[in-house]
Amino acid sequence: MRDFRFGFTLASPRSQAELADVCGRAEDYGYDIAVGVDHLGPNRTDPFLAAMAAASHCKRMKVGTYVLDIGFWHGALVARDVASLTRMTDGRFELGLGTGVIKAQFDRYRFRWPSFAERVAMVSEAVDTMHELLAEEDGVPVPPILIGGGGEQMLRLAAAKADAVSFGGRAHVHGQPAGTLRILTRADIDDRVKFFEAAAADRVDQIERNLFVLEVVVTDDRRAAAQVVADAYAPHSNVDDLLESPNVMFGTEDEIAQQILDLRERYGFTYFTVQRPHMEPLGPIIEKVRAQA
């Protein structure tokens, strides 16, 4: 079984000093990788620039993207920037790719919103283009590739072409406008993991399994914490489902550590990524997990 890895998203640091502080504290907690996110709008940071800046402040951690929204990119541009980051970080870069889920950003900035099938094809093409172009680079290897997504098309693609597969925490609500989301339930993750394992076949043990964790709330009142999140996603997520969902974590530090250990045992998840606001709450739990692993 693989060792645990823990990562966090960088969000949009306001200065080099802030970024240096965040990266230093993350390394002290035991995080393994800091990743740039890919969104458009005010107070956003380019994911490659965020990763490059973080690398200069990391003594041990790797850096990467989680995940590129492929609708904003061409495969040749991805390959160019990946080659640049791989060189400039001395091989500490990891690439994360996804289809994107926030249609409002496409609409606001006049990007065409491709169909989901088109976006899946774009991710596949970007991987192929990167392999093709990096083969012509002098001494620049293809970095580890993570493909994120919970639908069958993306899981099938990850099974065929990825080094790591990420099980995202949200899904579109069927029959609702694009951008209407709910948090995945335990049953959802059960089904997705089983589908992925069947699709991966003899590659299944070669592919690292990542879980994107949307919430980490350290508390003695799990139900109250879950209610706050349920209200934010009402009426499409409820408290009872959230208390069992792998993608949200509520409880004491010891309870959350046990949840992470149980998720490795049940699903094979060994790589966990949290959003920037949850880097500190998860931080002290990392040591607890590794002490019991």
Name the H helices within the chain. Answer: 16-29, 47-55, 75-88, 103-108, 116-134, 152-161, 186-200, 222-233, 239-244, 253-267, 279-292
State the Cα–Cα distance between residues 30 and 9, nearest whole angstrom. Answer: 15
- Position of tokens 């080659």? 83
Q: Both tokens of residue 174?
A: 């069927």
3-state secondary structure of 182: strand
How far does CA 39 lie from the centroid of its chain? 14
Q: Give Cα separations from 78 to 67, 116, 142 (angstroms).
A: 12, 20, 12
Q: How many CA atoms lie within 13 A of 205 on its CB side?
A: 2
Q: How far does Cα 196 stand from its chain's mean position?
A: 17
- Residue 161: predicted pLDDT: 98
**Angle between helix 279-292 and 16-29 (nearest 10):** 20
Q: Which domain holds residue 31?
A: 5-292
- Cα 5 to its chain centre, rounded Å, is 12
The pLDDT tens digits for 87-103 are: 999 999 999 999 988 88
Residues 6 or more apart whose CB falls under 8 angstroms from that of 238 comprise 230
Q: What is the pLDDT of residues 37-52, one digit of tens each?
A: 999 999 999 999 999 9
The domain total for the chain is 1
What per-residue confidence (pLDDT) applies to 180?
Answer: 84
In percent, the amount of the chain with pLDDT more than 90 equals 91
CATH number at residue 169: 3.20.20.30
Tens-digit pLDDT profile for residues 203-233: 999 999 999 999 999 999 999 999 999 999 9
- Asked whether 281 and 217 are in contact (CB, 8 A), the reply is yes
Q: Which two tokens stand for residue 63?
A: 């850096």
pLDDT band (50, 70, 90) for residue 172: confident
The predicted pLDDT at position 106 comes to 93
pLDDT of residue 200: 98
38/110 Cα distance (integer angstroms): 16
- Is residue 176 classed exposed, middle or buried when 0-12, 13-18 and 19+ CB atoms within 10 A define those classes? exposed
Provide mean pLDDT across the span 160-169: 96
**Rounded CA gap, 235 and 245, in Å?**
16
Asked if residues 157 and 128 have their Cβ atoms less than 8 Å apart, the reply is no
pLDDT tens by residue, 120-162: 999 999 999 999 999 999 999 999 999 998 889 999 999 999 9
Q: Are 179 and 101 in contact (CB under 8 A)?
A: yes
Residue-wise pLDDT for 52-73, tens only, equals 999 999 999 999 999 999 999 9
**pLDDT above 70 covers what percent of the chain?**
100
Whether the pLDDT of residue 179 is over 80: the answer is no
> For position 210, what pLDDT does the model report?
98
Q: What is the DSSP string of 132-143?
A: HHHTTSSS-PPP
> What pLDDT score does 290 carry?
98
Q: What confidence score (pLDDT) does residue 77 get? A: 96
pLDDT confidence tier of residue 14, bands split at 50, 70 and 90: very high
pLDDT at position 256 over 80: yes
Q: Cβ(82)–Cβ(130) under 8 Å?
A: yes
Residue 259, beta-bridge partner list: none
Q: State the average pLDDT for the chain.
A: 96
Q: Which two tokens stand for residue 133?
A: 């172009």
Number of residues that make up the chain: 293
The Cα–Cα gap between 167 and 16 comes to 31
Stronger pLDDT, 199 or 181, i.e. the higher one: 199
Half-sphere exposure of 145 (CA within 13 A, CB side): 23
